């Protein structure tokens, strides 16, 4: 079989309310090296925010990334079904602020989140598919628990949630963090899913730890592989363009 490739645009979500007071500090990064992630989160009450939405700073980051015209030429947007990733994906890759009288359903309804943004149009943008496969490595804290799919569909009407079978979050547990084996299984399944798609230029809007694992881990021969230059952690709204090599 011949080798083939796709271009992936990997994007971490913009700043969420759960990130405030935590992300980017030298102290927290140092602690991550010696204690489990779910124990580190105990130090910040902000991680008790269930399915956190974007902050005003987060929306500014979304606007700045969109202004780089990264949305042009993307054939498909794959997004984690968390509010912060859905908001980021809609704001960066959507059709812009929705105009009165549009018949198509919006990508994002008006007033979503604790710091709501205006409704986002679905006109002229690629398809959006929500996948559990690209969710964050789940801790025991509510910031990693998604909303019900019914609520997601109400808030993001033009996003396709048909790939998600469970109405309520079956991946998250209040007592047991996700294992690395589960995380790696999702990572491998995502690469296989992307390789099987017909689209050649795909945006994946996800989370810091998951994306770092995605670009940092390598599987055996015959598995889809990512070609990327940078393998460090992702900042909010950081975009990296990588090549997915696979056999078809």
pTM score of the predicted model: 0.88
Residues 134, 139, 144: CA angle, nearest 5 degrees: 55
Strand partners, 3: 247
Of 233, 194, 193, nearest in space to 215 by CA? 233
- Confidence label for 228 from pLDDT (cuts 50, 70 and 90): confident
Give me the pLDDT at residue 18, please: 84
For residue range 129-179, list pLDDT tens digits in order: 999 999 999 988 888 999 999 999 999 999 999 999 999 999 999 999 999
| pLDDT of residue 107 exceeding 80 | yes
The secondary structure of 95-122 as a DSSP string is: -SBPPTT--SPPSB-TTBTTTTB--B--
Which tokens hold the place of 2? 């011949």
Which tokens hold the place of 168? 């309520």
**Cβ neighbours of residue 191 closer than 8 Å, sequence gap 6 or more:** 214, 219, 223, 224, 226, 244, 246
- Confidence label for 74 from pLDDT (cuts 50, 70 and 90): very high
Q: How far apart are CA 219 and CA 77, in angstroms?
A: 24
Ramachandran angles phi, psi of 158, nearest 5°: -90, 0
Give me the pLDDT at residue 83, please: 96
Give me the pLDDT at residue 247, please: 81
| pLDDT of residue 94 exceeding 50 | yes
**Burial of residue 103, with CB atoms counted within 10 A of its CB: 0-12 exposed, 13-18 middle, 19 or more buried:** exposed
Strand 201-206 relative to strand 3-12, pairing: parallel
Strand partners, 246: 4
- Confidence label for 219 from pLDDT (cuts 50, 70 and 90): confident
Going along the chain from its start, the domains and CATH numbers come out as 3-16+51-247 (3.40.50.1240)
Residue 237: left (phi > 0), alpha (psi -120 to 50), or beta? left
For residue range 22-67, list pLDDT tens digits in order: 544 434 444 444 445 544 444 444 556 789 899 999 999 999 999 9
Of 87, 88, 117, 123, nearest in space to 105 by CA? 123
Ramachandran angles phi, psi of 61, nearest 5°: -65, -40
The residues annotated as belonging to the active site are: 13, 136
Which tokens hold the place of 37? 């992630």
Give me the pLDDT at residue 145, please: 93
Mean residue pLDDT across the chain:
87
| pLDDT of residue 233 exceeding 70 | yes
- Confidence label for 245 from pLDDT (cuts 50, 70 and 90): very high
């Amino acid at each position: 079989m011949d080798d083939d490739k796709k271009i992936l645009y990997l994007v971490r979500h913009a700043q969420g309310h759960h990130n405030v007071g935590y992300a980017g500090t030298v102290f927290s990064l140092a602690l991550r090296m010696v204690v489990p992630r779910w124990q580190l989160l105990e130090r910040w009450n902000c991680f008790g925010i269930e399915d956190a939405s974007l902050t005003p700073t987060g929306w500014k980051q979304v606007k700045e990334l969109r202004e780089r015209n990264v949305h042009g030429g993307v054939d498909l947007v794959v997004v984690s079904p968390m509010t912060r990733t859905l908001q980021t994906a809609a704001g960066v890759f959507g059709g812009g602020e929705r105009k009165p009288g549009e018949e198509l359903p919006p990508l994002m309804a008006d007033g979503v989140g604790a710091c709501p943004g205006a409704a986002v149009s679905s006109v002229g943008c690629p398809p959006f598919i929500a996948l559990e496969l690209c969710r964050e490595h789940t801790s025991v804290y509510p910031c990693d628990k998604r909303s019900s799919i019914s609520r997601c569909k109400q808030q993001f009407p033009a996003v396709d949630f048909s790939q998600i079978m469970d109405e309520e979050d079956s991946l998250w547990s209040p007592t047991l963090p996700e294992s690395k084996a589960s995380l790696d299984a999702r990572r491998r399944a995502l690469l296989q899913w992307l390789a099987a798609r017909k689209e050649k230029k795909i945006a994946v809007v996800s989370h810091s730890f998951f994306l770092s694992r995605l670009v940092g881990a390598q599987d055996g021969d015959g598995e889809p592989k990512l070609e990327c230059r940078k393998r460090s952690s992702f900042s909010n709204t950081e975009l990296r363009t990588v090549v997915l090599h696979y056999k078809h």
